Amino acid sequence: MSLVSLPTPANLSSTYASPKPPGYFSCSRPELVALVPPEAVRILDIGCAAGQLAGALRASRPSAKLEIVGIEVSATAAEEAMATVDTVIVGNIEDISLDFEKYFDCIILGDVLEHMVDPWMTLRRIATLVSNSGTVIASIPNVQHWRVIFDLMRGRWDYREFGIMDITHLRFFTKRTIHRLFTTNGLAVTQIIPLLTTSKAKIVHRTTAGIASAFLAHQYLVVAKSAVSDKSLT
């Protein structure tokens, strides 16, 4: 395992600079691991945190010879990630140079796009790093959740340590704008899956045939392909 530290512009303040609660960098994200195609071998985990997702991915396919590259802005978390990630790059994906054109079978962005100044430009870069047959997987908070709407009706827009209103979030998305975010930047969306965290939300989702999911989903899980491969199928 190797650790690569890249310079960050002096005038750039990391969106992760504020203290985070315990466990913030230690989620294995089984819902994302389940979406990684079984044939994917070369994987880029953007925002790899302490490497728990990479560890869970390796555990789920012990016979696979995976090459996992991680990018992480927190140097402390990046050092921990070296236990499960082959190469950890310490830096901000928006500012570092990556020489991996059409290299990766799968690129994972677990709760990172909402932290970026320009997620649109980042996805355009991602589209050049994923192979023509590769997959891009992301999780993105849903700002249309009923709690956010309820708070807005009371004139509240209160930031918190984590969740949809995480104080380090710079961008906010709904299902419709998530779809546009990907499709206008070189990627073809194949799935947008609402992540429902309570049994009540799941029951309402089923009884309304999914109509209410826009207000119940805490996050959306996104699966996309290179738009180049999408065009080749038409």
pLDDT in tens, 179-233: 999 999 999 999 999 999 888 888 888 888 788 899 999 999 999 999 876 554 4
- pLDDT for 152 equals 96
CA gap 76, 178 in Å, rounded: 30
Average pLDDT over residues 15-21: 50
Q: In b/e form, how buried is each residue of 66-80, taking b as 16+ CB within 10 angstroms?
A: bebbbbbbbeebbeb
The count of domains in the chain is 1
At 14, is the pLDDT very low, low, confident or very high (cuts 50, 70, 90)?
very low
Work out the percent of the chain whose per-residue pLDDT is above 90: 77
Please say if the pLDDT value at position 88 is more than 50.
Answer: yes
- pLDDT for 234 equals 39
CATH of the domain at 60: 3.40.50.150
Residue 113: C-alpha distances to residues 29, 86, 123, 150, 198 (Å): 16, 23, 9, 24, 24
- pLDDT for 1 equals 73
Work out the percent of the chain whose per-residue pLDDT is above 70: 88
Please say if the pLDDT value at position 150 is more than 50.
Answer: yes
CA gap 39, 163 in Å, rounded: 32
DSSP assignment letter at 176: H
Domain residues for the domain of 69 are 2-232
At 25, is the pLDDT very low, low, confident or very high (cuts 50, 70, 90)?
low
Token pair of 143, please? 């700002």
| 218 neighbors 141 (Cβ within 8 angstroms) | yes
Nearest to 141 by CA among 168, 122, 120: 168
